[in-house]
């Protein structure tokens, strides 16, 4: 890489991290989630705004030329975000929460997905289909778009609001992670149906079994093995450089997941889940150090690149956006509310859970990108899915910030959550 190439990529990163932090700060002052400001930074720098100006043609060309490097930074930011989220939710599936997570995941996700599949033939239109899209693949994409919940964006909102350690956060993230296992498989089926070749049931079955098995072992047996390695007197790296050891665990998980063709996003989450060792202060300090660097640079840049990839010039149908946004939000909120009642929640608890799990965020944007690249959906439907992901995430972040500012409990039955509300409410500027 020449000096000019290096200077070019550094300049792009400077713009991304600088503007994402600036807009994130302004959004926080406006009592909006910082993550929306970070995504907006990429939109501002992308082809929708500054990229359309004549003097910015060089910047757009440099961004395309350095696409591989930006893509690596994008994935590194995403993996670090999921790693830190897994570390904060170490007790994700405690015995007391399995019932709630099960109801919310099965009913809160299953009902929207099945309902969209049933009503899909009446809802889809020719304007939603791409060049390779067929009726079945388009219906599946619609169903996933209605049911999906964002793990990365919700994690970031929780981190910004300093409630990532609460029972409410553990339940929501547990539901979101379980949702994604099934929904990513559905996305794989949709892209396979859109291809020219026949559907390969063996390959799809292997992917599902490998993902579920990897996730199951990552929650049960593997953390115990990692805990033993943490305490081993032969673990020189953990003793002398806990930060390097924690990152090594993250990379190791991702390498194994990649070899098994399992999503590295799940692997990063499970790596954070496994590396936490409450009795070893060194690991807590290591994770704190990794978090400071990640939330200062890599994670804001990740969300800025998400915004940078948005091309609002491709087309925007306000009617399509309004119809999808209202319909999908209504179905999701009502389904989660019903699931919440089955799980034993009432009143404000149902509203908090429904609005938060309605945030589509990163997975919603990934869904749109994958479907568009596969030729399943049209530019207008792509824009609709992306904007719906951003708007629902903003709704969730704004509502949770309002609840915290009012001093209301996230879950009425969780004393720890009430304490978190009081603590966060004392310093709203830090949100």
Model pLDDT, residue 298:
92
Q: Which of 101-105, 154-158, 180-184, 286-290 has the lowest mean pLDDT?
A: 180-184
Span between the terminal Cα atoms of the chain, in Å: 40
User: Mean of the pLDDT values across residues 193-217?
Assistant: 71
Model pLDDT, residue 426:
46
Residue 81 exposure: Cα atoms within 13 Å on the Cβ side = 30
Kindly tell me if the per-residue pLDDT of 2 is higher than 80.
no
Kindly tell me if the per-residue pLDDT of 146 is higher than 80.
yes
Distance between CA atoms of residues 393 and 385, nearest Å: 12
User: Mean of the pLDDT values across residues 181-192?
Assistant: 71
Distance between CA atoms of residues 81 and 92, nearest Å: 16
Distance between CA atoms of residues 408 and 417, nearest Å: 10
* CB burial readout 258-269, b (16+ within 10 A) else e: eeeebbbbbbbb
Kindly tell me if the per-residue pLDDT of 365 is higher than 70.
yes
Radius of gyration of the chain (CA): 21
User: Mean of the pLDDT values across residues 254-280?
Assistant: 81
Using CA atoms, how far residue 152 sits from 1, 164, 354, in Å, is 32, 12, 17
Model pLDDT, residue 131:
85
User: Mean of the pLDDT values across residues 363-380?
Assistant: 79
- The domain limits of the chain are 90-299+317-430
Burial class (CB in 10 A: 0-12, 13-18, 19+), 317: middle
Kindly tell me if the per-residue pLDDT of 269 is higher than 50.
yes
Higher-confidence residue of 176 and 108: namely: 108
How many other C-beta atoms are found inside a 10 Å radius of the C-beta of residue 161? 24
Output the six-digit token pair for 354.
């429904």
Burial class (CB in 10 A: 0-12, 13-18, 19+), 358: buried
User: Mean of the pLDDT values across residues 372-397?
Assistant: 85
User: Mean of the pLDDT values across residues 221-230?
Assistant: 86
Distance between CA atoms of residues 364 and 148, nearest Å: 7
Q: What are phi and psi of 71, to 5 degrees?
A: -65, -40
Model pLDDT, residue 277:
63
Kindly tell me if the per-residue pLDDT of 264 is higher than 80.
yes
Q: What are phi and psi of 125, to 5 degrees?
A: -135, 160
**CATH architecture label of 90-299+317-430:** Up-down Bundle (1.20)
Is the Cβ–Cβ distance between 87 and 273 less than 8 Å?
A: yes
Model pLDDT, residue 5:
75
Model pLDDT, residue 429:
32
User: Mean of the pLDDT values across residues 265-278?
Assistant: 80
Is the Cβ–Cβ distance between 347 and 412 less than 8 Å?
A: yes
User: Mean of the pLDDT values across residues 172-179?
Assistant: 79
Q: What is the DSSP letter of 92?
A: T
**Nearest CA to 152 among 389, 321, 429, 414?**
389
Kindly tell me if the per-residue pLDDT of 1 is higher than 70.
no
User: Mean of the pLDDT values across residues 147-176?
Assistant: 79
Q: What is the average pLDDT value for the chain, to the nearest integer? A: 80
Distance between CA atoms of residues 389 and 363, nearest Å: 8
Model pLDDT, residue 186:
77
Model pLDDT, residue 304:
87
Model pLDDT, residue 370:
74
Kindly tell me if the per-residue pLDDT of 45 is higher than 90.
no
Distance between CA atoms of residues 332 and 108, nearest Å: 7
């Amino acid at each position: 890489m020449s000096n000019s190439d290096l200077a070019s990529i550094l300049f792009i990163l400077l713009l991304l991290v600088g503007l994402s932090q600036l807009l994130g700060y302004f959004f926080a002052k406006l009592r909006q989630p910082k993550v929306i400001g970070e995504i907006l930074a990429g939109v501002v720098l992308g082809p929708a705004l500054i990229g359309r100006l004549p003097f910015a043609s060089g910047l757009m060309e440099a961004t395309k030329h350095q696409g591989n490097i930006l893509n690596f930074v994008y994935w590194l930011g995403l993996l670090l975000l999921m790693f830190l989220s897994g570390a904060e939710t170490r007790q994700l599936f405690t015995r007391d929460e399995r019932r709630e997570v099960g109801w919310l995941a099965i009913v809160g996700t299953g009902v929207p997905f099945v309902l969209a599949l049933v009503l899909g033939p009446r809802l889809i239109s020719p304007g939603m289909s791409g060049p390779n899209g067929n009726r079945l693949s388009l219906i599946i994409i619609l169903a996933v778009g209605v049911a999906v919940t964002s793990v990365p964006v919700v994690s970031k909102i929780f981190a910004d609001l300093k409630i990532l350690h609460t029972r409410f956060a553990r339940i929501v993230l547990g539901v979101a992670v379980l949702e994604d296992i099934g929904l990513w498989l559905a996305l794989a089926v949709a892209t396979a149906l859109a291809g020219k070749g026949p559907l390969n049931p063996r390959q799809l079955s292997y992917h599902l079994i490998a993902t579920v098995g990897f996730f199951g072992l990552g929650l049960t047996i593997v953390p115990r093995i990692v805990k033993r390695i943490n305490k081993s007197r032969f673990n020189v790296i953990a003793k002398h450089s806990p930060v390097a050891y924690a990152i090594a665990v993250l990379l190791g998980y991702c390498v194994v997941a990649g070899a098994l063709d399992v999503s590295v996003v799940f692997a990063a989450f499970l790596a954070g889940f496994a590396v936490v060792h409450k009795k070893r202060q060194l690991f807590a300090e290591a994770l704190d150090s990794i978090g400071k660097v990640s939330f200062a640079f890599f994670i804001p840049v990740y969300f800025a690149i998400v915004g940078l990839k948005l091309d609002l010039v491709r087309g925007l149908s306000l009617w399509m956006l309004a119809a999808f946004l209202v319909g999908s939000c209504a179905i999701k909120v009502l389904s989660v509310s019903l699931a919440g009642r089955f799980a034993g929640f009432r009143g404000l608890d149902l509203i908090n859970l429904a609005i938060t799990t309605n945030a589509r965020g990163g997975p919603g944007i990934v869904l749109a990108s994958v479907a568009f690249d596969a030729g399943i959906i049209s530019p207008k439907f792509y824009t609709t899915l992306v904007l719906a992901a951003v708007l629902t995430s903003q709704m969730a972040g704004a509502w949770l910030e309002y609840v915290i500012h009012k001093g209301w409990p996230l879950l009425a039955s969780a004393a720890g959550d009430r304490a978190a509300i009081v603590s966060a409410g004392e310093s709203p500027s830090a949100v």
